[in-house]
Every structure is written in C-alpha cells, then in structure tokens.
C-alpha cells in the first residue's frame, strides 16, 4: 500500500519549560507593559533587546508588536513617505508590500531568479528607471542573494537597504549574520518563524539617528532611557518633538518567552537543517524535479524547503499538489490564479499595480514550497520525501512531453 504521512505541517514545538517559567514570573508580578518597572529593574523587553543586539552584532535593537510593524517602522524611520517608490522582490509575502502601502508609499516589484532571490541586474535597471532610494529586501523562504553584489549596486546608487529577515533569523551570508548588510533589518517572532511569541517583531540597526526615530515611532513616550539597546539620550533630543508616536511596542510577557528561545535558537537551527537535508537528500535525482542548490556563502536555516518543477504545465503541478495532499503532504504552490491562505503573489496585490514580471511568473509557476516544523522527525522527513518523489514521478511519467 501507499505510505501516508499523518503529521501536521502547522504544529510547532511546545514553548520550552524555561520560557514557560519566565512567562509565569511576569504573570505573577503583573508588570506586562514594557515601561512598568520598579526601581532600577530592567524589564524583559529591554533585556531581549540587549540580547538580540548581541546575537546579531548590531549596535541597537528595538522590540515591537510584529514583523510587519518592524518593517513599517523601519521604512518610516528611514524617511520613506507618501508617494515614494520602494523596491522589493516580487516573491515575498503579503505583509511586505502591505507595510509599504500602509505608508502611502508605492511598492515596485523586482524580478526574482530560479534561486528564489532578487535579480540584481533587474534591480539595477529598476533603480535607474524609478529613481527609487529605498530597497526593502525580503529574504523570502530564507534564500539570501549575493549580498556583496547587492550592496555594491545599492551603495553605488545611494539606495538604502532594509532587510526583511523574517525567514533568516540565525542565518548568515559569508559569515555575517543576515540583517547586518543594510541600514536596518526586521525580524518576526510570529508563531511560524524561528522564535515563537505568537506575534512579535525585532528591528536592528547601527545608525543612532535612525534608531532614535524608530524608538520614538514605536510608542516610547519619553521613556526611551528604559530601552535595552537604544542610542544615548542625546540622539533623541533633536527628534523627540517631531516624531509621532505610532504605538506598536512589545510587552514583557512575549519578551519573557523569547529570551530563552534565543538561547535555544542555535540548536533549533541545527535541527531544522538536519530535516532540510533529509528531505533534500530524499528528493535528489527525482526525474523532472530540480533541487535549489544553496550557495556556499550562505548559512541558511532550513525551516522550509522549496523545489522547482521547471516548465511543467500548471495542471501537472496542481496534480502533484493534490496527489501529495491525498497522502498527507502539504505543498504550497505560488502559481495559483487566486491567493490561498498565506500564499499570495505580487499580481494578487491589486493595490500595488505594476507590469507583469515574466521571469518571476515562470519561476512561481514551477515552485513548490513546504514547511518543516521541528515536530517532524528525521524519519518523517524521509517519508515525506519518498511520497513527493513517487507522486512527482507518477505525474512526470504521464506527461506527454516537457516543453522547454
Ligand atoms: C511573517 C513575515 C513577515 C511579517 O511578520 P508578521 O510578524 O506576521 O507581521 C514579513 N515578511 C515575511 C517574508 C514574512 O514571512
């Protein structure tokens, strides 16, 4: 009989005992608001900021309410305003163009390559064509582009780079943590990301003026001296009368459960990568299926995996998705005409109209995407790969021909 997988693609690991204990401490004292501290107590949010700054090597860190909030706050603090064009990769998730649109700014999409990263040549062309001064670079599904080449293009054109690291917390490019190349980087601690506080976000940067503005924007009232990794008070002097308070703070309960998770993160990265490798190994040399080879310079976090059915007809890709689903394996397809759940595409975001991007369209038609929660065992991963391999094989064999 055909093997079936019975696990859940959306089930995370439990919150660790250390994190649960930290949460109980906060619940017991009741001081959940980040500025509700006694004496010279340093609150959980401030401690998280200090520890995350240290983890990434950034000078400053600000904890906020969500990853999307971190992006919006970063764009504002970087001076983006209504009518400004912000470039971003065409393959990303809805909160990215959403954060741009929320400012009244205009998202302009850049082509992606078969490696699922921004096309740097097309980026250069878009900069020249639009005159945009800001790139919101989304490291979608953890794929990091050639950051040296990207920064060379952006620096030469004086384009500021804000990194969306929702899928690269714990990853590196050529030994530098993801998020340390641009002006600022945004992380999410929403349940499906690398640390889980339900909702939450972190913003890092080295620039004091930028971070003072972001801190004021986040709703710091005039209590920025209670932050864990903020610039000196002097950085706020020139800004504090002119920066609106757009509340989006993190609270002590979330920070309390995140701090132990930051300690646990390196072990989790290793666990994700072992699972990624198990699936990748099982899928290698499947006729019709292309593995996305990861560059040597990239230290990725394999919390999800993607593979390419290049030049397959839409119906054949949908057949693979349906056949895998029938055996318990949930694949996401970015080629569908209508958005489904978390999966939507640049041309579904009608508030951000733009030209069709033929290269991206071709890539998205062939890309399948799968989450790898840590509740999967290595045996589960091997089983999942066997199922995908069998179903891709069955559909591929029955295809009349693959048109190049
Ligand atoms: C999750 C996510 C975000 C936003 O995070 P939220 O915390 O859900 O607001 C931004 N970009 C990408 C690529 C994401 O996956």
CA of 288 to the centre of ligand 1 (A): 31
Cβ atoms of 210 and 78 within 8 Å: the answer is yes
**For position 203, which CATH number holds?**
3.40.640.10
CA of 389 to the centre of ligand 1 (A): 30
Q: Is residue 294 part of a domain?
A: yes
What digits encode the pLDDT tens for the residues 281-293? 999 999 999 999 9
> Is residue 113 located within the same domain as residue 181?
yes
Q: Is residue 365 part of a domain?
A: yes
pTM equals 0.96
Q: Is residue 11 part of a domain?
A: no
Show which of 233, 260, 287 is a domain's final residue: 260
| Domain containing residue 364 | 265-397
> Is residue 228 located within the same domain as residue 329?
no
pLDDT, residue 175, reads 97
Show which of 210, 239, 260 is a domain's final residue: 260
Secondary structure string (H, E, C) spanning 346-369: HHHCCCCCCCCCHHHHHHHHHEEE
pLDDT, residue 243, reads 96
> Is residue 280 located within the same domain as residue 313?
yes
pLDDT, residue 373, reads 96
Ligand 1 site residues (CB inside 6 A) read 66-68, 92-93, 95-96, 138, 140, 164, 166-167, 188, 190, 199, 201
Q: Is residue 4 part of a domain?
A: no
> Is residue 161 located within the same domain as residue 53?
yes
Q: Contacts from 260-266 at CB under 8 Å and sequence distance 24+? A: 260/16, 260/18, 260/19, 260/22, 261/15, 261/16, 261/19, 261/195, 261/196, 261/197, 262/48, 262/51, 262/52, 262/55, 262/195, 263/18, 264/16, 265/55, 265/169, 265/170, 265/194, 265/195, 266/170
Residue 400, pLDDT > 80, answer no
Residue 307, pLDDT > 90, answer yes
> Is residue 253 located within the same domain as residue 328?
no
Phi, psi for 371 (deg, rounded to 5): -75, 150
Residue 1, pLDDT > 90, answer no
- Which atom of ligand 1 is nearest the CA belonging to 70? 9
Q: How confident is the model at residue 337 (pLDDT cuts 50, 70, 90)?
A: confident
CA of 195 to the centre of ligand 1 (A): 12
Q: Is residue 3 part of a domain?
A: no
Q: Is residue 5 part of a domain?
A: no
Span 69-80, mean pLDDT?
98
**For position 303, which CATH number holds?**
3.90.1150.10
Judged on CB neighbours under 10 Å (0-12, 13-18, 19+), 338 is exposed
Show which of 235, 260, 285 is a domain's final residue: 260
- Which atom of ligand 1 is nearest the CA belonging to 138? 13
> Is residue 42 located within the same domain as residue 133?
yes
> Is residue 34 located within the same domain as residue 120?
yes
> Is residue 254 located within the same domain as residue 269?
no
CA of 244 to the centre of ligand 1 (A): 24
Percent of the chain with pLDDT strictly greater than 70 = 99
Instruction: Name the residue with the closest Cα to ligand 1, atom 5.
Output: 67
β-pair type (172-173, 134-138): unpaired
Residue 401, pLDDT > 70, answer no
pLDDT, residue 338, reads 84
Is 193 one of the annotated active-site residues of the chain? Answer: yes
Total domain count, the chain: 2
What digits encode the pLDDT tens for the residues 22-55? 999 999 999 999 999 999 999 999 999 999 999 9
> Is residue 311 located within the same domain as residue 274?
yes
pLDDT, residue 2, reads 87
> Is residue 223 located within the same domain as residue 346?
no
Span 158-170, mean pLDDT?
98
Cβ atoms of 280 and 306 within 8 Å: the answer is no
- Which atom of ligand 1 is nearest the CA belonging to 193? 1
Q: Is residue 77 part of a domain?
A: yes
What digits encode the pLDDT tens for the residues 209-221? 999 999 999 999 9
Span 98-115, mean pLDDT?
97
Span 83-110, mean pLDDT?
97
Instruction: Name the residue with the closest Cα to ligand 1, atom 7.
Output: 67
Residue 198, pLDDT > 70, answer yes
What digits encode the pLDDT tens for the residues 256-273? 999 999 999 999 999 999
> Is residue 292 located within the same domain as residue 239?
no
> Is residue 256 located within the same domain as residue 269?
no
pLDDT, residue 339, reads 84
Q: Is residue 6 part of a domain?
A: no
């Amino acid at each position: 009989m055909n093997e079936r997988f019975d696990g859940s693609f959306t089930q995370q690991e439990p919150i660790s005992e250390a994190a649960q204990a930290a949460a109980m401490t906060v619940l017991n004292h009741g001081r959940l608001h980040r500025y509700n501290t006694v004496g010279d107590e340093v609150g959980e949010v401030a401690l998280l900021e200090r520890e995350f700054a240290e983890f990434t090597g950034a000078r400053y860190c600000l904890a906020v309410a969500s990853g999307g909030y971190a992006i919006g706050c970063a764009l504002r603090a970087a001076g983006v305003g209504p009518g400004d064009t912000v470039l971003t990769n065409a393959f990303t998730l809805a909160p990215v163009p959403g954060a741009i649109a929320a400012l009244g700014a205009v998202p302009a999409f850049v082509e992606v390559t078969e490696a699922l990263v921004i096309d740097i040549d097309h980026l250069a062309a878009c900069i020249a064509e639009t005159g945009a001064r800001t790139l919101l670079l989304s490291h979608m599904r953890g794929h990091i582009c050639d950051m040296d080449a990207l920064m060379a293009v952006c620096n030469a054109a004086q384009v500021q780079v804000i990194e969306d690291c929702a899928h690269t917390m714990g990853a590196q490019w050529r030994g530098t943590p993801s998020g340390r190349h641009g002006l600022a980087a945004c992380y999410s601690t929403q349940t499906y990301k690398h640390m889980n506080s339900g909702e939450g976000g972190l913003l890092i940067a080295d620039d004091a003026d930028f971070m003072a503005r972001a801190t004021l924007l986040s709703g710091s009232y005039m209590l920025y001296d209670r932050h864990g990794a903020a610039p000196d008070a002097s950085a706020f002097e020139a800004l504090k009368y002119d920066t609106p308070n757009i509340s989006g703070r993190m609270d002590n309960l979330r920070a309390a459960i995140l701090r132990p998770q930051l300690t646990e993160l390196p072990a989790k990265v290793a666990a994700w990568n072992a699972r990624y490798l198990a699936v990748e190994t099982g899928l290698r040399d499947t006729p019709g299926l292309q593995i996305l080879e990861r560059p040597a310079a990239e230290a990725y976090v394999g919390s999800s995996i993607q593979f390419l059915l290049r030049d397959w007809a839409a119906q054949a890709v949908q057949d693979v998705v349906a056949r895998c689903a029938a055996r318990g394996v949930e694949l996401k397809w970015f080629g569908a005409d209508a958005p489904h759940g978390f999966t939507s595409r640049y041309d579904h975001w009608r508030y951000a109209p733009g030209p069709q991007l033929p290269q991206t369209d071709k890539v998205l038609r062939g890309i399948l995407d799968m989450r790898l929660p840590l509740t999967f065992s290595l045996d589960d991963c091997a089983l999942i790969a066997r199922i995908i391999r069998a179903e891709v094989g069955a559909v591929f064999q029955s295809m009349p021909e693959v048109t190049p």
